Amino acid sequence: MKRFLLPLIFFAGLSVVLAASLSNDPRRAPSTFVGRPAPTFDLPRLDAPDRQLSPEALRGQVWVMNVWASWCESCRDGHAALMALAAKNIVPIYGLDYKDEPDAARQWLKQAGDPYIASMMDRSGKTGIDYGAYGGPETFVVDRRGVIRFKRSGPLTQAALDTQILPLVRSLQGEGSDE
Amino acid sequence: MIPELGQFALIVALLLAITTGVLPLVGAARGITGWTLSAWSLARAQCAFVTMAFSCLAISFMGNDFSVAYVASNSNSMLPLIYRFAAVWGGHEGSLLLWTSLLTWWMAGVAVFSKQLPIPMVARVLGVMSWINVGFLAFMLWTSNPFTRLLPPAMNGRDLNPLLQDPGMVSHSPILYMGYVGFAVAFSFAISALLSGELDAAWACWSRPWTTAAWAFLTLGIMLGSGWAYYERGWGEWWFWDPVENASFMPWLVGTALMHSLAVTDKRGSFRAWTVLLAICAFSLSLLGTFLVRSGVIMSVHAFASDLTRSIFILTFLSIVAGGALVLFAWRAPKIGLGPGFAAISRESLLLSNNVLLMVAAASVFLGTFYPLLLNVLGLGKSSVGAPYFDAVFVPFMTPVVFLMGIGPVARWKSARLPDILVRLCWAALVSVASAIALPWLAGGWKPMVALGMLLAVWSATSVLTALAGRIGEQGGPWILRFFHVPRGFYGMLVAHFGIGIFIAGVTLVKGYETAGVARLDIGQSIEAGGYTFRFDGTKPVDGPNYRAQRANIVVSREGHVIAVMRPEKRFFVVQKTTMTEAAVDRGVFRDLYVALGNAAENSNTAWTVRVQIKPFVDWIWAGCLLMAIGGVLAASDRRYRLAVRERRQAASGAPHVRIRTQAAIAAANVANAKETRS
């Protein structure tokens, strides 16, 4: 009887999705976000909650955004690389503090070091959803026109910095603005 | 030396598990008695060796052996002893070891307490469980060895994640895992029944107490996790619809359906194929939860650091276990037959409807959890689904479930008459409707969702009383003694159903009427919220074993009377360089006062941000869960089974031999008694 095969078929489908999300996702996702305008937001800054920040304000420059949270274990792994990037002073890094407690977030930055020009508080997680934050820390590179040019899921590594992000940032900064 | 011993024990356990996976299964299939009987000693040996490995890891932790990589990354010499023990399962590798340990303990339980069941059946169950154990042991030995040495050894460890340094953590994981792993027993019974082809009511009867016990553990585990999140994360929230929470909730929903479906298969012989499918589902979802936590495909508070090899291993394992089981199901299920029929209105039909609704609810949680992955795979971009989705979807599904839950216990098997049911439940319905109208109004404002919640909560409680009254009314003899004639299983069901009512009341009232306030307070200043005044009397430094803290003194008063002094803390964990908010909770039956410290103000030495919340009836949420778990324990330990076991034993051996109350003994007795007892 065919109906007894249905659970098996359903499960096979699920396995394919899971396998695909494993092979397709972590670390090297050629994300659908690349080439699209950075989703807009208007969020209060972590360091100064009365001031808002939006991507429009960052037009004309190349910037890096990192999605993080004080409760996120794997964000800690990538923090050193992020600090190294900030120390180079080549590109401004903005943080998106995803579904976090502002107090805990500020405290965490105080202890681990703050690589960000500013972090935006995304308490509801809505902006994180727009940016597809689902797999740990995520790093985006946005060009002068506000288009996402690179996305990486998972903790940042020195290797990724040297081989992908820095070369990309340099070439984007060389591109000049269309506006 | 001790870590090597542990490693050796794991290898021996793996070899034993493979042997147990082969000999008894072949023996049972071919009728080779010696092979079949080997299951018992092999299962015990597996249990002994895995327990030995577990002890070795625990010794390494307690002795601060930082030459073991896993110990070095999850412990520290400053960590208090109890957390050094709990740290055994604080990371990926050790939590796997806990998983296999619990699995072998359940196996030992089956081996010891199933003497009344047919020998080939138990041998098959042990064989199937061993295969599951093979998977986990191999996973540990090949990708996640907790005993790997670190060269050169670390001077000190990186400490346990401060979130986990809490009494809740010590109990939450093992109890939750007991639930997850317990469903392996139900799964193995179902697979053994499929293998043997004897899918009659008997296997349902045997696996019932095990399933109920596993469900009670899972309920308790989820409750502890939720209670822990409530005070440890400093938000005062008790459920986040986090993907990993969902991963524990889905097996719970399916397990709930399974328990009820097993009852029908046991008592009436119906729903056989459906019950087998549920048993496969419940355990597969437990495994899926394991996959989710460890694969890194989702961002979650619970996620361990991910690793592609590990993810692939678990996914392959999941595919073999669930896929294999479903192939077996597709092959064997057509021969099962349908069992006796039943009328459109009967306890069977009510239970079936509830089963379907529970599965739909589980499917909606499943969809919400996996939707982002699906979108991503289809190249539609990533997005995640938040609490609004779950809140919106869940209430409509659970409302009819609770409604039917009230009717089920008063309906008769096979065929019930609607007028009878209506007459019996009419006062329960009236009281519920009246409460839905009056209670929210009394509580401080009529809101439709609160009214719905109160309707369901009161309905759960009153329908339980109706069912009890009906059952007492059927008994003969003196009125007082009638209570003792009702079997414990029935009481278990009522207690669990009543617990649902308490749970709903808690959720509804806390959602409907909680109040909160935030303020920057200097010494002597106060904040008002919900009629309470919180006066901030400053902070003072306090040192813990592995943290430094600022402890605030906050005096709470109402109408001029001091009610409580609350001491929330801000702890800085020295090794992990992490700050944790340690909320202070003043618990009460009708309300919790919840105070958390925010940040020290920047331009002052004494001022702090203070967050206060008044959460009415929030403890009812956990009280309800506790009642459900107690109900499960009562049902699994029904007295009539125990008596029957004793009688049987006396008849067999001539010597009185009192055994501890165990579910398996009951299961055994259940077989003998199934015909005599009525529901």
A109-118, B198-207, B208-217, B254-263: least confident range: B198-207
Mutate which of A6, A9, A77, A107 to disrupt the B interface (most B C-beta within 10 Å)? A107
How many Å separate Cα B361 from the centre of its chain? 17
| pLDDT of B662 over the 70 cut | no
Which pLDDT score is estimated for B122?
A: 92
Among residues 540-599 of chain B, which lie with CB inside 8 Å of chain A? 572, 577-579, 581, 598-599
Which pLDDT score is estimated for B495?
A: 96
Q: How far apart are CA B365 and CA B363, in angstroms?
A: 5
Please report which confidence band the pLDDT of residue B380 belongs to, taking 50, 70 and 90 as the band edges: low
**ipTM here:** 0.78
Task: Tell me the three-class secondary structure of B71-137, residue by residue.
Answer: HHHHCCCCCCHHHHHHHHHCCHHHHHHHHHHHHHHHHHHHHHHCCCCCHHHHHHHHHHHHHHHHHHH
Please report which confidence band the pLDDT of residue A176 belongs to, taking 50, 70 and 90 as the band edges: low
Instruction: For helices B448-474 and B418-443, give the axis angle rounded to 10 degrees.
Output: 140
> Which among A55-69, B117-131, B363-377 has the top mean pLDDT?
B117-131
Within 8 A of B246 by CB-CB distance, chain A residues are none
Query: What six digits make up the tokens of A110?
Result: 């105080």
Of A15, A24, A129, the CB nearest to B319: A15
What average pLDDT does range B402-424 have in this prediction?
88
Contact B204, B271 (CB under 8 A): no
**pLDDT digit string, tens, across residues B83-104:** 999 999 988 899 999 999 999 9
Please report which confidence band the pLDDT of residue B268 belongs to, taking 50, 70 and 90 as the band edges: confident
Within 8 A of A126 by CB-CB distance, chain B residues are 386
Within 8 A of A8 by CB-CB distance, chain B residues are 323, 326-327, 329-330
Within 8 A of B613 by CB-CB distance, chain A residues are none
Among residues 299-318 of chain B, which lie with CB inside 8 Å of chain A? 299, 301, 303-306, 308, 311-312, 315, 318
Contact A37, A146 (CB under 8 A): yes
What average pLDDT does range B24-44 have in this prediction?
93
Of B303, B308, B383, the CB nearest to A129: B383
Query: In whole numbers, what is the pLDDT of chain B averaged over residues?
Result: 86
Q: How far is A125 from chain B (nearest CA, A)?
A: 8
Interface contact A7-B330, CB threshold 8 A: yes
Extended strands (E) in A13-87? 43-44, 52-53, 63-68
A85-89, B172-176, B239-243: least confident range: B239-243
**pLDDT digit string, tens, across residues B579-598:** 778 889 999 999 999 998 88
What average pLDDT does range B371-384 have in this prediction?
67
What average pLDDT does range A69-75 have in this prediction?
75
Q: Is the CB of B518 inside 8 Å of chain A's CB atoms? A: no
Q: How far is B415 from chain A (nearest CA, A)?
A: 27
Please report which confidence band the pLDDT of residue B35 belongs to, taking 50, 70 and 90 as the band edges: very high
Among residues 348-367 of chain B, which lie with CB inside 8 Å of chain A? none
Mutate which of A17, A21, A50, A126 to disrupt the B interface (most B C-beta within 10 Å)? A21
Please report which confidence band the pLDDT of residue A29 belongs to, taking 50, 70 and 90 as the band edges: very low
Which pLDDT score is estimated for B573?
A: 82
Q: How far apart are CA B250 and CA B583, in angstroms?
A: 30
Interface contact B579-A14, CB threshold 8 A: no
Q: How far is B579 from chain A (nearest CA, A)?
A: 7
Within 8 A of B386 by CB-CB distance, chain A residues are 124-126, 129
Q: Is the CB of B235 inside 8 Å of chain A's CB atoms? A: yes
Q: Is the CB of B521 inside 8 Å of chain A's CB atoms? A: no
Query: In whole numbers, what is the pLDDT of chain A averaged over residues?
Result: 80
Q: How far is B319 from chain A (nearest CA, A)?
A: 7
Tell which wins on pLDDT, B303 or A17.
Answer: A17
Q: Is the CB of B295 inside 8 Å of chain A's CB atoms? A: yes
Interface contact B280-A7, CB threshold 8 A: yes
What average pLDDT does range B131-138 have in this prediction?
96
Residue of B nearest to A47 (CA): B602
Which pLDDT score is estimated for B633?
A: 94
Which pLDDT score is estimated for B39?
A: 94
Please report which confidence band the pLDDT of residue B156 belongs to, taking 50, 70 and 90 as the band edges: confident
Q: Is the CB of B320 inside 8 Å of chain A's CB atoms? A: no
Looking at residue B301, what DSSP letter applies? T
Residue of B nearest to A24 (CA): B377
| pLDDT of B484 over the 60 cut | yes
Contact B295, B306 (CB under 8 A): yes
Pairing of strands B532-543, A138-142: unpaired
| pLDDT of B384 over the 80 cut | no
Q: Which residue, A61, A43, A60, A39, is CA-closest to A52?
A: A43
What average pLDDT does range A26-40 have in this prediction?
63
Which pLDDT score is estimated for A134?
A: 57
Residue of B nearest to A19 (CA): B315
B207-211, B333-337, B630-634: least confident range: B333-337
**pLDDT digit string, tens, across residues A117-166:** 889 888 877 777 777 665 567 888 998 888 888 887 777 888 888 888 88
B664 half-sphere exposure, CB direction, 13 A CA radius:
21
Using omega within 30 degrees of 0 as the cis cutoff, is the peptide bond preceding B152 cis? yes
Which pLDDT score is estimated for B676?
A: 38
Q: Is the CB of B379 inside 8 Å of chain A's CB atoms? A: yes
**pLDDT digit string, tens, across residues B273-297:** 899 999 999 999 999 887 777 765 6
Q: Which homologous superfamily does the CATH classification assign to the domain defined by A37-174?
A: Glutaredoxin (3.40.30.10)
B456: left (phi over 0), alpha (psi -120 to 50) or beta: alpha
| pLDDT of B255 over the 80 cut | yes
B521 half-sphere exposure, CB direction, 13 A CA radius:
28
Q: How far is A25 from chain B (nearest CA, A)?
A: 7
User: In chain A, how many H helices and how many E strands?
Assistant: 6, 7
Q: Which residue, B200, B61, B65, B45, is CA-closest to B126?
A: B45
Residue of A nearest to B322 (CA): A11
**pLDDT digit string, tens, across residues B536-575:** 998 999 988 888 898 999 999 998 899 999 999 988 887 7
Interface contact B329-A8, CB threshold 8 A: yes
Instruction: For helices A6-24 and B272-295, give the axis angle rounded to 10 degrees.
Output: 0
A139-153, B158-172, B256-270: least confident range: B158-172
Which pLDDT score is estimated for B364?
A: 92
Which pLDDT score is estimated for A135?
A: 53
Q: Is the CB of B77 inside 8 Å of chain A's CB atoms? A: no
Of A11, A18, A98, the CB nearest to B326: A11
What average pLDDT does range B603-626 have in this prediction?
90
A137-146, B140-149, B394-403, B623-632: least confident range: A137-146
Which pLDDT score is estimated for B654?
A: 39
- Give burial (CB, 10 Å; 0-12/13-18/19+) of B300: buried
Which pLDDT score is estimated for B306?
A: 59
Of A25, A71, A77, the CB nearest to B301: A71
Domain-wise residue ranges, chain A: 37-174
| pLDDT of B615 over the 80 cut | yes
What average pLDDT does range B33-49 have in this prediction?
94
Mutate which of B297, B577, B602 to disrupt the A interface (most A C-beta within 10 Å)? B297
Cα–Cα distances (Å) from B371 to B365, B374, B377, in that order, read 10, 5, 10
Q: How far apart are CA B508 and CA B512, in angstroms?
A: 6
Interface contact B377-A14, CB threshold 8 A: no
Inter-chain CB pairs, A–B, below 8 Å: 139
